[in-house]
Structure 1
């Protein structure tokens, strides 16, 4: 059985050999361990788009796909490019497999299970449901923004704004009140760190421990009576009616906690950083409309990469892909591709396009609008990106003067 972290037989000699072989084969390498990549991944992706858009990574044992047209096609053809990694020939599989192999997450399932489970949560994110949620969401936003401080204060928007708000909003939807549990955001951060394809064995062990702690917390909350009008209640009804198992309902909520907090947090931090850096009189600082939110989502692309497995031999971008080959689709690169011809792919595409995309946009517009209206003189001080990030683009700190 693959562990996802079977790296004991590997070391610096193997790493250097892999990079040398990749350099000889392609004339360039994809090395996400380099500091230069962590500082400016887009420069690396731009070079790959130009010179090797479907690039064989020896280090990650997979194909790295960077052009919009190729990525959009792979996302669209879900029967040929599967979300489940079970049939992969790759030695190092998606780390999420190791966290809970008996209960796969929604983003690692294919139809018909994916269709059935997605349907269980789809109504919670429908336009009418979000319209009803909006007044409470806006109240929550004002409360979080007001608590940041006074104009002129020096604050970290990651700690006081970007990590606080998504969990509060998710609680409005689910009714689980996880924001009252001090350890939740730390558990999510450690789990996400373990999902990186360059995660170490130690990071993986910490991720597994955090996953179990978060799971125990969820089990405790799910055992309590479910409040009417919450996702907790609707999933409970599905379990009682036999449409879902207890394990499936729990895993759906686990997925929403992981996907609906950290990714939105990374977006809010990155978007606030960009807006704070604009001149005080810039139009974008006066009006955060839907078009600006969409542009910020495309530029920041908090989910940088998603993975697919080829179900049969095919070709992508002129490269021969074998059955079982794993492809890393760089959504961040697709969104910045000068030849992009369609909508942004920050939320993925095809049947796996993020079910919470509408909520993320609504939350982003409300949060950023309130932040700039409350602190119109906000200016940047320091922004420190999180290290060792490939799948997600996060921030350790975004310091501003309010």
Structure 2
């Protein structure tokens, strides 16, 4: 076990488009628990091996709640309230249990036809516009926003507001905090009004159910309710899909043999989506530092109590100790314990819904556009949370 001082590297590492930074593989081999410095906050340990990442995400010796109020490592200048992502059990368990009622496997599966119809409708709109058309603006962004807003009971005419909010909160324009400081209260006030409406007139949507949980059993505070509906469900429930989907299309077009195999064998779609989730990096960097509650050894390195640790999902997803030939896109990969949706108590609540949306939307695109291609003008984003194509002009 070592406790020696180590070089503190600037983080995030330089990346090119959809590639995983080579530094992750180097560190995984030679320094799997390394020191990094994000643009803001204190230095942290970065873990890059699959087993260490799972340990940090699930072991009770690491805490998210402790991070609240500390100068935690981050990309934003503002040290924001992390809502449900800043909680430990039992508070986290209480909120998660309430929200997960909307994301049971049975309920999510019942939404498949709805998502398929929505994908068809959006594709019809793209065809009407004529090619090339931006897949992000006209398909990848509106699809998850429409789905999650429908779940919560947001009026259709207000969907564009949430598109604007979620994009602004996760893009690099919010790194200095100005956007969050302006739009955060705006979104909170809007959700508070929706809550007030449901108190006056109860509804059967998810937000109505959350309001009843608070008012009937006092299980949610007002702040928890607004944070859960806003940052917890609306923002988190849209950006993964809106960033992943164009990234998946881009990856398949760069691997034509994989695309041809998926077209020939559409039954591979579920495993293809899992492999694309593993292979295509979605997060800009490791985030949501966990603080050690006691001394913990990770890969022979002693992490002292009180020190923050950043688990790199992208690095864990390329660990050769877990994934055979990890840098190859293999849509038939049989064993795929990727950690794109996290692991442990904070496993993404909407993971099953995201999977369904990605399966149906990607399937609809490949079916409708047998000659799918990309035109000039691709633009990439590397935001404070997600990365991927910001503009992806497609042809067919």
Name the TM tier (shorter chain).
Answer: 0.7 to 0.9
Is residue 178–residue 184 contact of structure 1 (8 Å, CA) maintained in 2?
no
**Equivalent residue for 1:148, pick from 126, 142, 153:** 126
**Equivalent residue for 2:64, pick from 76, 79, 83:** 83
Task: Give me the whole-angstrom Cα distance separating, in 1, the residues matched to 2:294 and 2:133.
Answer: 51
**What's the CA shift for 1:346?**
0.3
Q: Cα distance 1:117–1:183, how it changes in 2: closer, same or farther (>3 A)? A: same
Task: Give me the whole-angstrom Cα distance separating, in 2, the residues matched to 1:326 and 1:37.
Answer: 27
Is residue 83–residue 109 contact of structure 1 (8 Å, CA) maintained in 2?
yes
**1:269 aligns to what?**
246
**Equivalent residue for 2:275, pick from 272, 292, 295:** 295
**Residue 43 (str. 1) matches residue 22 (str. 2):** yes
Task: Give me the whole-angstrom Cα distance separating, in 1, the residues matched to 2:321 and 2:386.
Answer: 23
Task: Give me the whole-angstrom Cα distance separating, in 2, the residues matched to 1:96 and 1:179.
Answer: 33
Q: For 1:373-384, what aligned pairs fall within 5 Å after superposition?
A: 373-382=367-376, 383-384=378-379
Gaps spanning 5+ residues in structure 2: where?
324-335
**What's the CA shift for 1:172?**
2.4
**Equivalent residue for 1:238, pick from 213, 217, 224:** 213
List structure 1 runs of 4+ shifted beyond 6 angstroms: none
**What's the CA shift for 1:161?**
1.0
1:38-72: CA deviations, max 9, x gaps?
Answer: 77443221222122211111456111111112111
**1:3 aligns to what?**
none
Task: Give me the whole-angstrom Cα distance separating, in 2, the residues matched to 1:51 and 1:398.
Answer: 37
TM-score between both structures, scaled by the size of structure 1: 0.82
Q: For 1:18-33, what aligned pairs fall within 5 Å after superposition?
A: 25-26=6-7, 29-32=9-12
**1:55 aligns to what?**
34
Question: Which has the higher mean CA deviation after the structures are superposed, 258-267 or 301-310?
Answer: 301-310
Secondary structure of 1:274's counterpart equals helix
**What's the CA shift for 1:125?**
0.4
Task: Give me the whole-angstrom Cα distance separating, in 2, the residues matched to 1:290 and 1:347.
Answer: 15
Is residue 105–residue 252 contact of structure 1 (8 Å, CA) maintained in 2?
yes
**What's the CA shift for 1:275?**
2.5
The number of equivalent residue pairs is 367
**What's the CA shift for 1:95?**
5.1
Q: Cα distance 1:230–1:93, how it changes in 2: closer, same or farther (>3 A)? A: same
**1:284 aligns to what?**
262
Is residue 133–residue 393 contact of structure 2 (8 Å, CA) maintained in 1?
yes
Secondary structure of 1:377's counterpart equals coil
Q: For 1:115-154, what aligned pairs fall within 5 Å after superposition?
A: 115-149=93-127, 153-154=131-132
Is residue 192–residue 207 contact of structure 1 (8 Å, CA) maintained in 2?
no
**What's the CA shift for 1:338?**
1.3
Secondary structure of 1:240's counterpart equals helix
Q: Cα distance 1:234–1:91, how it changes in 2: closer, same or farther (>3 A)? A: closer
**1:214 aligns to what?**
187
